[in-house]
């Protein structure tokens, strides 16, 4: 049983003490599928917990961990790194001789840190183009995901979609939770190239779709939630707006639900009744009530119609729009290569 402790300096400026963020990022990189609290953070000054308290809490809660790895989140080997922290570790070793304490080097001089400095300087000078930012982001995603066998990007046609969702959310978990019908990517790209329209459940999904790219193929992204009037106690506004527009819009080929599980249930029902004949259904609603069930129901449709969804509570408008935009890019690239 191993626990990692990140030690930061600490600042009297409270909002500068953000080691918890670093801890979460490191946890996601090292233990992507882990739900345990195995990376702790502490401070030397001005903020709690301090290193001694952090070690004591680990010993109590972990019930004699076998190993504690302590990393000084400092650039250089000053007095804190070479004297203060090692003295605290020696005290801990005397108190807890059954635990192996490992002390790492500080951040120090590294090419990766110089690269971050270069990126910050270029960004401040306005020398990084938006396309370059995206390119670098994708390179980082591939690099961070690559070494992790359980979080490696897929090598098939779904790769660009998964990568764009991770880019949009900053969440590597989608690598393992996105679910694709075998014909989903091909069907979605063909629908876009054919100039078919896209129906969304909420305005946030519609607004996130690259309208210029879609219109280049002759299609439009449409949402009917604004047209819903009156009270409908048995249906949500998103469900009512989606269904009314989907039934009316004859050029629709892709149905996208990123927010409302009720709209996804209704969409599947209309498809199974033969009212809608989708080329692709994208269903990734987020939430704690019926979202998991709605997406599981979509995945359970098997080979009835192409779909893209994900397991679990996560999802949302950002994810839905990212999937569509990835398909749009694939359609554009396919057109260029013809």
Count the Cβ atoms, other than its own, within 10 Å of residue 252: 22
* DSSP line for 120-147: HHHHHTT-S-HHHHHHHHHHHHHHHHTT
CA–CA separation, 253 vs 176, rounded Å? 27
CA distances from 268 to 115, 142, 185, 301 (A): 48, 34, 19, 9
DSSP conformation class of 82: I
- Estimate to the nearest angstrom the gap between the alpha carbon of 171 and the chain centroid: 2
167 is catalytic: yes
Reference 332, options 221, 219, 241; nearest CA is 219
Reference 315, options 334, 275, 288; nearest CA is 288
Candidates 9, 27, 31, 167; catalytic one: 167
CA–CA separation, 306 vs 180, rounded Å? 8
- The answer to whether the peptide bond before residue 134 is cis (omega within 30 degrees of 0) is no
Burial class (CB in 10 A: 0-12, 13-18, 19+), 35: exposed
Q: Pairing between strand 2-8 and 39-43? A: parallel
Task: Evaluate the CA torsion angle 189, 193, 196, 200 in order and state its sign.
Answer: positive
Q: Is 281 helix (H, G, I), strand (E, B) or coil?
A: strand
For residue 54, which phi and psi values (nearest 5 degrees)? -60, -45
Strand order in 252-257's β-sheet? 178-180, 307-310, 280-283, 252-257, 197-200, 221-223
For residue 259, which phi and psi values (nearest 5 degrees)? -130, -45
Residues marked active site are found at: 167
């Amino acid at each position: 049983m191993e626990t990692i402790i990140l030690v930061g300096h600490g600042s009297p400026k409270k909002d500068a003490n953000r080691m918890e963020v670093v801890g979460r990022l490191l946890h996601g990189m090292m233990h992507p599928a882990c739900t345990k609290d195995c990376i702790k953070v502490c401070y030397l000054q001005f903020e709690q917990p301090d290193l001694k308290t952090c070690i004591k809490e680990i010993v109590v809660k972990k019930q004699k961990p076998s190993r504690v790895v302590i990393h000084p989140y400092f650039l250089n080997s000053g007095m804190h790194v070479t004297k203060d922290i090692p003295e605290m570790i020696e005290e801990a070793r005397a108190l807890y001789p059954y635990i192996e304490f490992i002390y790492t080097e500080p951040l120090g001089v590294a090419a990766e840190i110089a690269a971050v400095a270069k990126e910050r300087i270029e960004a401040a000078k306005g020398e990084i183009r938006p396309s370059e930012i995206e390119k670098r982001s994708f390179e980082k995603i591939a690099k961070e995901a690559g070494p992790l066998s359980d979080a490696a990007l897929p090598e098939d046609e779904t790769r660009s979609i998964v990568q764009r969702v991770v880019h949009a959310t900053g969440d590597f978990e989608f690598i393992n939770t996105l679910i694709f019908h075998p014909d989903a990517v091909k069907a979605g790209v063909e629908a876009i190239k054919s100039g078919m329209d896209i129906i969304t459940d909420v305005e946030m999904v519609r607004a996130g779709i690259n309208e210029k790219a879609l219109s280049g193929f002759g299609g439009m992204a449409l949402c009917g939630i604004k047209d819903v009037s009156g009270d409908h106690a048995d249906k949500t506004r998103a469900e009512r707006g989606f269904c009314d527009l989907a039934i009316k819009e004859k050029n629709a080929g892709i149905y996208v639900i990123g927010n409302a599980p009720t709209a996804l249930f209704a969409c599947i029902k209309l498809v199974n009744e033969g009212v809608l004949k989708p080329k692709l259904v994208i269903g990734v609603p987020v939430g704690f009530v019926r979202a998991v069930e709605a997406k599981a129901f979509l995945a359970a449709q098997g080979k009835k119609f192409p779909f893209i969804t994900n397991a679990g509570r996560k999802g949302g408008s950002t994810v839905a729009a990212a999937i569509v935009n990835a398909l749009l890019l694939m359609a554009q690239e396919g057109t260029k290569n013809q």
